[in-house]
């Protein structure tokens, strides 16, 4: 009786997959069937679509409506196919001319009154449809802010099914997504990260944070309760360089796919700072689960993953994290699908030195016996520690020194300038060595380019060799020392990596014990 095809899209992990919605109306008893691996939310689409079509004054076909979603192998999730299904039905019923559907892609959930609701991951969905050759893509107005990031490929936006139908029938353009087009989109205040000036003293820990920020290095703070580890760690974002344009797009896609507000990333270009609680499960950390969604490691992509109270985290999660740190990505394989989620992150962690918290603190005596100390140490997986560049002890500032007024504390703004300068020098040098964008910070220098990139002096090499012997360091740990020493030299403005920088780098290793 009638038939129509139109494109929609669904999320797989953090990527959009184009879905062909094929609608067939046949003269049988009224009934709606949706076939092609729909999840519950998609199956419920029938009820929403029926109500929405009536709400905009069209008639819903009193016949058999069969909706086929292809490719059949991809699980269709969420309500984002509603809009494509509704328009497909109207076209199959002859209420919207077929020609108008040409190469149109539609994304949106329908409310019963025909309003179009925002969908999770609209950025990835719109991007997929545009790159898949759709000449016209329409998404919910509420997703306008994030999809505006697509620049020239930004989709049109609509708030109501009636607008979409009218735009298709008349071939008139709807407004294009822009950072103003989402109603109620708030302007975000500047970063919520605390400023380093809120931390009194602790100049050595602050220096280590600057080194970490300047080279993208992993950092572990260890010290007694109340020493200020958590406070210091939360200051890291105030030192980091902003995301580049393409990085921001990448991160916004991930956050949008996870149902988080991506507008902050889009507008402020702030690097993600994820601080999951130590009760987080392995899936919470690494993602996966039924929907193959991103975990904290992927949400921290191009930013920071902060694991406060490191020894309290699930061991299997930490073990799995080793691989992620190595590869910069998480791989989930399930029977029918393999999903790779990006996770190029900077690891920041904090831990007490022992169970009672006071081992070596100089504040109180440690009450742990040798067995307890050893067990605690084992909880911190050795191979994971080996992958953290900077091991930094934090000693509590004495109460009397906390309100020291004569020495103004170091502030983030000035230190951030140093970080930005050092990052620039690195980017230029590493680009000159032919390294791709993602490897243009010292922590990412591949082993093959290491000596060329770091250029240690003879004296620096001697110190490195001594440290490798004395601390029984792995080759990986030795490479890490070179990278950290390079970052310190970049902060100092040295062409080569001198002995002093190497000695400071070794210091960050030795303190870890
Ligand atoms: N150097 C400092 N300057 C200013 N305030 C500080 C400093 N050190 C600690 N504090 C204060 O002490 C509080 C506790 O610090 P924080 O939570 O960072 O300690 P911690 O080392 O993480 O302790 P725990 O091991 O118990 O988690 C902070 O919220 C802050 O108010
Ligand atoms: Mg703490």
Q: What is the pLDDT of residues 52-94, one digit of tens each?
A: 999 999 999 999 999 999 998 888 888 899 999 999 999 999 9
pLDDT (tens digit per residue) in 402-439: 766 666 777 888 999 999 999 999 999 999 998 888 77
Residues in the 5 Å CB sphere of ion ligand 2: 230
| Average of per-residue pLDDT across 453-468 | 95
For 234-256, give the secondary structure using H, E and C. CCHHHHCCCCCHHHHHHHHHHHH
pLDDT attached to residue 181: 47
Residue nearest ligand 1's atom 14 by CA: 226
380, pLDDT greater than 90: no
User: 2-170: which CATH number, 3.90.1170.50, 3.40.630.10, 3.30.230.10, 3.20.20.140?
Assistant: 3.30.230.10
Encoded tokens for 361 = 């603190």
Whole-angstrom Cα distance, residue 325 to residue 273? Answer: 16
| Average of per-residue pLDDT across 505-513 | 74
Q: Is the CB of 397 under 6 A from ligand 1?
A: yes
pLDDT (tens digit per residue) in 385-401: 888 999 999 988 877 66
| Average of per-residue pLDDT across 477-489 | 95
- Are both 2-170 and 196-410 of the same fold? no
Residue nearest ligand 1's atom 26 by CA: 225
| Residue whose C-alpha is closest to residue 150's, from 179, 170, 171 | 179
The structure tokens 């109460």 sit at 399
Alpha helices of 161-202 — where are they, by DSSP H? 161-170
**Residue 500 pLDDT grade (very low, low, confident, very high; cuts 50, 70, 90):** very high
Contacts of 319 (CB under 8 A, 6+ apart): 381, 383, 384
**Residue 513 pLDDT grade (very low, low, confident, very high; cuts 50, 70, 90):** very low
286, pLDDT greater than 80: yes
Q: Provide the 8-state DSSP code for 93.
A: T
pLDDT attached to residue 165: 95
Q: What is the mean pLDDT of the chain?
A: 88
Contacts of 160 (CB under 8 A, 6+ apart): 56, 114, 115, 116
pLDDT attached to residue 180: 65
Q: Is the CB of 244 under 6 A from ligand 1?
A: no
Q: Provide the 8-state DSSP code for 196.
A: G
Residue nearest ligand 1's atom 8 by CA: 228
pLDDT attached to residue 212: 97
Contacts of 287 (CB under 8 A, 6+ apart): 293, 294, 295, 297, 298, 330, 332, 341
Q: Could you report how far apart the first and last alpha carbons of the chain are, in Å?
A: 77
**Residue 188 pLDDT grade (very low, low, confident, very high; cuts 50, 70, 90):** low
101, pLDDT greater than 90: no
How much distance in Å is there from the Cα of 329 to the middle of ligand 2?
Answer: 28
Q: Is the CB of 234 under 6 A from ligand 1?
A: no
Encoded tokens for 241 = 């360089």
Residue nearest ligand 1's atom 9 by CA: 228
| Average of per-residue pLDDT across 198-204 | 88
Encoded tokens for 32 = 């709606």
Q: Which pTM does this prediction carry?
A: 0.83
pLDDT attached to residue 189: 57
Q: 196-410: which CATH topology?
A: Rossmann fold (3.40.50)
Q: Do residues 454 and 486 touch, judged by C-beta distance below 8 A?
A: yes
| Average of per-residue pLDDT across 106-128 | 95
274, pLDDT greater than 60: yes
pLDDT attached to residue 298: 96
Q: E strands along 120-244, which residues?
A: 136-140, 156-158, 219-223
Q: Do residues 219 and 349 touch, judged by C-beta distance below 8 A?
A: yes
Ligand 1: which of 223, 226, 404 to mutate, judged by most atoms within 8 Å of the beta carbon?
226
How much distance in Å is there from the Cα of 487 to the middle of ligand 2?
Answer: 27
372, pLDDT greater than 60: yes
Ligand 1: which of 205, 206, 223, 230 to mutate, judged by most atoms within 8 Å of the beta carbon?
230
32, pLDDT greater than 80: yes
Q: Do residues 105 and 7 touch, judged by C-beta distance below 8 A?
A: yes
How much distance in Å is there from the Cα of 275 to the middle of ligand 2?
Answer: 12
Q: What is the percent of the chain where pLDDT is above 90?
A: 56
How much distance in Å is there from the Cα of 336 to the middle of ligand 2?
Answer: 42
**Residue 184 pLDDT grade (very low, low, confident, very high; cuts 50, 70, 90):** very low
Q: Is the CB of 182 under 6 A from ligand 1?
A: no
For the chain, the domains span 2-170, 196-410, 416-510
Q: Is the CB of 229 under 6 A from ligand 1?
A: yes
| Cβ neighbours, 10 Å, residue 283 | 14
The structure tokens 């004495």 sit at 398
């Amino acid at each position: 009786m009638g038939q129509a095809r139109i494109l929609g899209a669904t999320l797989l992990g953090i990527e959009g997959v184009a879905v062909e919605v094929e609608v067939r109306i046949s003269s049988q008893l009224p009934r709606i069937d949706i076939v092609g691996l729909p999840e519950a939310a998609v199956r419920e689409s029938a009820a929403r679509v029926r109500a929405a079509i009536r709400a905009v004054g069209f008639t819903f076909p009193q016949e058999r409506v069969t909706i086929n979603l292809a490719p059949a192998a991809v699980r269709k999730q969420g309500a984002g196919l509603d809009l494509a299904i509704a328009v497909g039905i109207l076209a199959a019923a002859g209420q919207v001319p077929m020609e108008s559907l040409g190469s149109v892609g539609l994304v949106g959930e329908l409310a019963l009154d025909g309003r179009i609701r925002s969908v999770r991951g609209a950025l990835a969905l719109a991007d997929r449809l545009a790159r898949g050759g759709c000449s016209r893509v329409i998404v919910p107005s509420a997703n306008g802010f994030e999809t505006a990031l697509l620049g020239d490929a930004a989709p049109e936006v609509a708030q109501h099914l009636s607008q979409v139908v009218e735009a298709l029938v008349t071939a008139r353009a709807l407004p294009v997504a822009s950072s103003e087009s989402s109603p109620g989109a708030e302007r975000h205040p500047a970063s919520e990260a605390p400023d380093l000036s809120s931390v009194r003293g602790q100049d050595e820990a602050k220096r280590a944070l600057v080194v970490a920020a300047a080279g993208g290095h992993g950092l572990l703070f260890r010290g007694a309760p109340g020493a200020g580890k958590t406070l210091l760690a939360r200051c890291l974002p105030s030192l980091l360089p902003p995301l580049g344009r393409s990085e921001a797009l990448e991160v916004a896609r991930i956050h949008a796919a996870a149902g988080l507000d991506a507008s902050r990333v889009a507008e402020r270009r702030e690097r993600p700072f994820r601080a999951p609680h130590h009760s987080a499960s392995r899936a919470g950390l690494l993602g996966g689960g039924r929907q193959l969604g991103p975990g904290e490691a992927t949400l921290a992509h191009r930013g920071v993953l902060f694991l406060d109270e490191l020894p309290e985290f699930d061991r299997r999660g930490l073990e799995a994290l080793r691989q992620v740190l190595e590869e910069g990505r998480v791989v989930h394989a399930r029977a029918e699908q393999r999903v790779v989620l990006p996770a190029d992150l900077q690891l920041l962690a904090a831990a007490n030195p022992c169970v009672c918290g006071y081992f070596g603190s100089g504040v109180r005596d440690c009450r742990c016996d040798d067995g307890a100390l050893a067990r605690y140490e084992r909880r911190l997986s050795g191979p994971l520690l080996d992958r953290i560049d900077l091991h930094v002890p934090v000693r509590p500032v004495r109460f009397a020194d906390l309100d020291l007024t004569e020495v103004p504390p170091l502030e983030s703004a000035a230190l951030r300038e140093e970080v930005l300068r050092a990052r620039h020098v690195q980017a230029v040098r590493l680009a000159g060595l032919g390294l791709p964008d993602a490897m243009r910070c010292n922590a990412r220098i591949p082993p093959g380019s290491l000596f060329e990139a770091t250029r240690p002096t003879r004296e620096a090499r001697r110190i490195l060799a001594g440290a490798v012997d004395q601390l029984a360091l792995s080759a990986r740990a030795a490479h890490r020392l070179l990278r950290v020493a390079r970052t310190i030299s970049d902060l100092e403005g040295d062409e080569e990596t001198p002995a002093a920088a190497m000695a400071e780098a070794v210091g960050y290793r030795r303190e870890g014990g």
